[in-house]
Structure 1
Amino acid sequence: MWAAHYDRANQPELRGGSAGPREDDAVEVFPRILKLDVGGLPVEWIDWREAVGLYFTDKIAWEAGSEKIRLRGGRCRETGDRSELAIDSIVAVRDRSHRFARGLVPTLSRRELYHRDGGICMYCGLHMNYRDMQIEHVVPRSTGGVHEWTNVVAACEPCNRHKDDRTPEAAGMKLLALPYEPNLAEWLILANRRILADQQAFLERLAPRRNRLT
């Protein structure tokens, strides 16, 4: 059985034993690992336990992160030494995924929309709490607008109510930024609330440069 220690300043250490945190807590406390294919394209987020399986089945082709999660296993009966394994924050596996190359569109959800628009109302610029955000269809669904990334923005309740069942032009309102459909790299950034600096920097290199200003 492994216990995890995140090798970074001011981070707690998780060990086995009844007095310590539960094993499941490690999945919540420690950052997820960014999994790449062997060509260096992003695939998905995995937890440290899945990463252990990749290391022990020799599926790690190379590593690219600057952060480490150190795992401590059992002790050797002969020497008393404790086994250790250091997992990188970014790992490439020995296969090739076509997820990024196929340009898969991430599923539109309230949480990812909130993060895409930075928690800001795209009409008045108000910073909102997640619970206060409303999903606003730029072209109203009643007039043929579709529920997809390029037709939805985050909005506060007063702006959403004022715009009502009209286009921004008809309501005399202007979008602060254009809605867009994130690619896989952008979605992986949005999907991880505990993303590390090296992981974000890696993914940002694969995200298109956008000018969202209207």
Structure 2
Amino acid sequence: MNSKVLRLNKAGTPIAWLSWQETTTLLVKDLVIWSIGDTIYTVKGGYSKTGRRSSLDLPSIIACDGKVDNHAFTPALSNGLLFARDQQMCMYCGLEFPVKELSRDHVIPTSKGGQDRWTNCVTACRRCNNRKSDRTPELANMQLLAVPFAPNRYEFFYLSNRDVLADQMEFLKARFSPNGSVFA
């Protein structure tokens, strides 16, 4: 089974993507305080004296008790997440490319004081990145197609899992930030 279970804290904030084994452990230890979503897998157990087989339905989203972290969340910037945020589209020419043909572009080049952070980085094809070179988009006469933004926690969890199920997507998407226009 490739599908992951979305683990939340008791406030409904995403904490982790879990395997079916990790989810089973939390359910059996009675550490899940609530769950939502469809059953994504049924774990079959052993047989009782009466010949009945035990089973455990795994929901797609579970919440566990524990500390609620209300601190601001900014995920670490990586090319994989950046390219996913921008949907593998060059933010200059608007064409989609395979990952191996993409690069990270600093809107304000690092040599000009720009920082390596979400709000200063976009996905660019190698051709556009070379054309822009060590200049701002204005100086290179190139227009950005979208404003770079840092994904919130919910957007990060969407970006970090290739196989998000429909009910998980519905839960996460309802909490996407308005500036996350790429996800619309």
Instruction: Output the TM-score relative to the length of structure 1.
Output: 0.81
Residue matched to 1:48: 20
2:130 match: secondary structure = helix
CA RMSD of aligned residues (A): 1.4
Distance in 2 (CA, whole Å) between partners of 1:201 and 1:114 is 22
Residue matched to 2:53: 82
Q: Deviations over 1:12-47 (max 9, x none)?
A: xxxxxxxxxxxxxxxxx3211111111222212111
Residue matched to 1:13: none
Distance in 2 (CA, whole Å) between partners of 1:34 and 1:74 is 26
Return the letter of the residue paired with 1:115. A
How far off its partner does 1:160 sit? Answer: 0.4
1:106 match: secondary structure = coil
Residue matched to 2:41: 69
Distance in 2 (CA, whole Å) between partners of 1:212 and 1:80 is 55
Residues 66, 211 of structure 1: alpha-carbon distance in 2 compared, 3 angstrom cutoff: closer
Structure 2: which 5+ runs fail to align? Answer: none
Residue matched to 2:88: 119
1:182 match: secondary structure = coil
How far off its partner does 1:192 sit? Answer: 0.5
Residues 204, 38 of structure 1: alpha-carbon distance in 2 compared, 3 angstrom cutoff: same
Distance in 1 (CA, whole Å) between partners of 2:38 and 2:179 is 27
Instruction: Output the TM-score relative to the length of structure 2.
Output: 0.94
Q: Deviations over 1:56-110 (max 9, x none)?
A: 111111111124311012223x223221000100001122331xx2122101111
- Map 1:1-214 onto structure 2 (within 5 A): 29-76=1-48, 78-98=49-69, 101-210=70-179, 212=181
Aligned structure 1 segments of 4 or more residues deviating by more than 4 angstroms: none
Are 1:119 and 1:128, in contact at CA under 8 Å, matched by a contact in 2?
Answer: yes
Return the letter of the residue paired with 1:142. S
Return the letter of the residue paired with 1:152. C
Are 1:112 and 1:190, in contact at CA under 8 Å, matched by a contact in 2?
Answer: yes
Distance in 2 (CA, whole Å) between partners of 1:212 and 1:171 is 25
Say which structure is richer in strand.
2
Structure 1: which 5+ runs fail to align? Answer: 1-28
